């Protein structure tokens, strides 16, 4: 285990973080019910859980559930999304080992993932497969291939990496994003709402009447497109998958190619989970004052090195808006939140109630692994159906029938 037990911005911020977590808990009835049961049953006693997920108040309630359920927890977040107050409260109030701060770089993030794995976890809960990648590719952590009893993965991006890049078959990884409740409730409604919220907080511009291009029409992309249209924006969807493109068309959206859509738009939102979605050739097509936001998993969806190379000046003009003056042209492009997830870096992420459901899926999936990992096939797979239905029933009980 590493000698470093935490790396956060400022422990003195803990009281403010405690308030944030208290506010989130007050609006998370599903998690409150699970915390009470886990505290009595102690399903995670004696286990170390290594986690990579955004460090914010809703995650704080999840950490409370795991630690009160007996787990030793080591946590890191993602660049640009950490709430330093929450990180401090998790260290002070719950004894979580936290490696994350608001201004961390991607290099910091990878180092913090190494810190998490240095605690030799029994289970990992991943977000984009960064922890998995280290276990599969770094000799320092190769021993965990035999030690880990199971894992969860939050995202479609991470699931794709596990299935396509690593062909993971050492343990069962339960893919939270394979559940319909996660895709429909959290991705379509939660992400859609929080992306619009993040863009408006970052810019303070009116969305009514704006021409917006949404790149990617998965569940997150479709939710974002729908929420933008609900705010009065004229939305064009760019999607390579023919079936998904047809879905967008049937739901009333304009559909187009990037090359056709970019010259006549006010705003572009990437939400694909893939690298280099916007590159030099695309920046060249955009008109003056185009706003560019990323809501996909990785900052790398927007190729900032290309944009840096094209620019004669780069200026931060609002806390979450950077202006790139294109060399030799009377054109500025505005990038939000340094291309980090705009809903988490410029806002507070998905609505609290939405994450109540998503984190309940995580909690019960980890409990299944802790108590009965041997019943699961050693491949990436959906969350067991009975767990998804249990969470849906809890949501109905607390959201509809209360």
Token pair in block for residue 395: 């949501």
Token pair in block for residue 95: 């004894």
* Nearest C-alpha neighbor of 53 from the set 5, 115, 109, 120: 109
Asked whether the beta carbons of 283 and 333 are under 8 A apart, the reply is: yes
Q: Is the pLDDT of residue 181 over 90?
A: no
- Whether residue 296 is annotated as binding a ligand: the answer is yes
- The per-residue pLDDT for 241 is 96
**Tens of pLDDT along 43-78?**
999 999 999 999 999 999 999 999 999 999 999 998
Asked whether the beta carbons of 196 and 206 are under 8 A apart, the reply is: no
DSSP 283: H
Beta strands in 224-266 (DSSP E): 234-238, 254-256
**Tens of pLDDT along 365-394?**
999 999 999 999 999 999 999 999 999 999
Q: How many C-beta atoms lie closer than 10 Å to residue 241's C-beta?
A: 12
Rounded CA-CA distance 126/129 in Å is 6
- The per-residue pLDDT for 223 is 96
- Whether residue 360 is annotated as binding a ligand: the answer is no
- Whether residue 186 is annotated as binding a ligand: the answer is no
Q: What is the average pLDDT across 18-45?
A: 97
DSSP secondary structure, 114-145, as one string: HHHHTT--SEEEESSSHHHHHHHH-GGGTTHH
- Whether residue 52 is annotated as binding a ligand: the answer is no
- Whether residue 157 is annotated as binding a ligand: the answer is yes
- The per-residue pLDDT for 3 is 66
Asked whether the beta carbons of 129 and 157 are under 8 A apart, the reply is: yes
Rounded CA-CA distance 139/134 in Å is 9
Q: What is the average pLDDT across 131-137?
A: 96
Asked whether the beta carbons of 2 and 327 are under 8 A apart, the reply is: no
**Tens of pLDDT along 83-97?**
999 999 999 999 999
- Whether residue 59 is annotated as binding a ligand: the answer is no
Q: What is the average pLDDT across 146-169?
A: 90
204-212: which pairs have CB atoms within 8 A and are 24 or more residues apart?
Answer: 205/291, 207/231, 207/232, 207/233, 208/232, 208/233, 209/233, 209/234, 210/234, 210/266, 210/267, 211/236, 211/264, 211/265, 211/266, 211/267, 212/236, 212/265, 212/266, 212/267, 212/268, 212/269
- The per-residue pLDDT for 89 is 98
- Whether residue 327 is annotated as binding a ligand: the answer is no
- Whether residue 81 is annotated as binding a ligand: the answer is no
**pTM over the 0.85 mark:** yes
Beta bridge partners of 234: 211
- Whether residue 401 is annotated as binding a ligand: the answer is no
DSSP 56: S
- The per-residue pLDDT for 219 is 93
Every domain of the chain with CATH number 3.40.50.1480 lies at 11-182+350-400
Q: Is the pLDDT of residue 324 over 90?
A: yes
Confidence of residue 8 (pLDDT cuts 50, 70, 90): very high
- The per-residue pLDDT for 169 is 86
* Nearest C-alpha neighbor of 16 from the set 118, 123, 93: 93
- Whether residue 218 is annotated as binding a ligand: the answer is yes
Token pair in block for residue 89: 């409260």
Classify 11-182+350-400 by CATH class: alpha beta
- The per-residue pLDDT for 41 is 98
Confidence of residue 118 (pLDDT cuts 50, 70, 90): very high
Vertex 69, ends 93 and 364: CA angle to 5°?
120
* Nearest C-alpha neighbor of 161 from the set 382, 380, 389, 392: 380
SS3 content of the chain, % helix, strand, coil (to 5): 50, 20, 30
3-class secondary-structure state, position 317: strand
Q: What is the average pLDDT across 102-123?
A: 95
Token pair in block for residue 279: 């590159």
Average pLDDT, the chain: 95
Classify 187-345 by CATH class: alpha beta
DSSP secondary structure, 168-181, as one string: --SS-EEEGGGSHH
In the chain, the N- to C-terminal Cα span, in Å, equals 45
Containing 268, the helix (H) or strand (E) segment is strand 267-270
Name the phi and psi angles at 290, rounded to 5: -65, 135
- Whether residue 115 is annotated as binding a ligand: the answer is no
Share of residues in the chain with pLDDT > 70 (%)? 99
Q: Is the pLDDT of residue 208 over 60?
A: yes
Confidence of residue 79 (pLDDT cuts 50, 70, 90): confident
Confidence of residue 80 (pLDDT cuts 50, 70, 90): confident
* Nearest C-alpha neighbor of 301 from the set 238, 354, 253, 350: 238
- Whether residue 343 is annotated as binding a ligand: the answer is yes
- Whether residue 155 is annotated as binding a ligand: the answer is yes
- Whether residue 402 is annotated as binding a ligand: the answer is no
Half-sphere exposure of 296 (CA within 13 A, CB side): 25
**Tens of pLDDT along 326-341?**
999 999 999 999 999 9
Every domain of the chain with CATH number 3.40.50.720 lies at 187-345
Confidence of residue 171 (pLDDT cuts 50, 70, 90): very high
């Amino acid at each position: 285990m590493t000698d470093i037990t935490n790396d956060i911005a400022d422990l003195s911020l803990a009281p403010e973080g405690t308030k944030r977590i208290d506010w989130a808990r007050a609006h998370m009835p599903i998690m409150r019910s699970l915390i009470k049961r886990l505290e009595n049953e102690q399903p995670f006693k004696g286990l170390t859980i290594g986690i990579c997920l955004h460090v914010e108040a809703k995650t704080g309630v999840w950490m409370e559930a795991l630690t009160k359920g007996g787990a030793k927890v080591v946590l890191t977040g993602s660049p640009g999304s950490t709430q330093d107050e929450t990180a401090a409260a998790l260290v002070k109030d719950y004894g979580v080992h936290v490696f994350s701060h608001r201004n961390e770089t991607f290099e910091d993030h990878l180092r913090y993932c190494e810190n998490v794995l240095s605690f030799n976890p029994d289970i990992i809960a991943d977000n984009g497969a960064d922890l998995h990648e280290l276990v599969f590719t770094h000799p320092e952590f190769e021993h965990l291939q035999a030690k880990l009893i199971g894992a969860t993965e939050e995202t479609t991006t991470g699931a794709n990496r596990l299935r396509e890049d690593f062909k993971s078959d050492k343990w069962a990884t339960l893919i939270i994003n394979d559940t319909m409740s996660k895709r429909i409730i959290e991705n379509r409604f939660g992400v859609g709402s929080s992306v619009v919220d993040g863009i408006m907080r970052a810019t303070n511009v009116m969305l009514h009447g704006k021409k917006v291009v949404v790149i990617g029409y998965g569940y997150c992309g479709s939710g974002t497109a729908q929420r933008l249209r609900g705010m009065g924006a004229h939305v064009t969807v760019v999607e390579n998958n023919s079936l998904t493109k047809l879905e967008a068309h049937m739901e009333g959206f304009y559909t187009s190619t990037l090359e056709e859509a970019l010259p006549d738009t006010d705003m572009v939102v990437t939400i694909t989970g893939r690298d280099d979605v916007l590159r030099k050739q695309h920046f060249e097509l955009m008109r003056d004052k185009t706003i560019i936001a990323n809501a996909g998993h990785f900052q790398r969806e927007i190729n900032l090195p290309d944009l840096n190379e094209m620019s004669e000046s780069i200026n931060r003009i609002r806390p979450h808006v950077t202006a790139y003056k294109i060399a030799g042209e009377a054109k500025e492009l505005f990038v939000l939140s340094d291309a980090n997830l705009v809903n988490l870096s410029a806002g507070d992420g998905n609505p609290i109630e939405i994450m109540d459901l998503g984190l309940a899926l995580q909690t019960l999936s980890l409990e299944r692994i802790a108590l009965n990992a041997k019943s699961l096939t050693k491949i990436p797979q959906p969350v067991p159906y009975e767990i998804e239905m249990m969470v849906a029933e809890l949501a109905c009980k607390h959201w509809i029938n209360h």
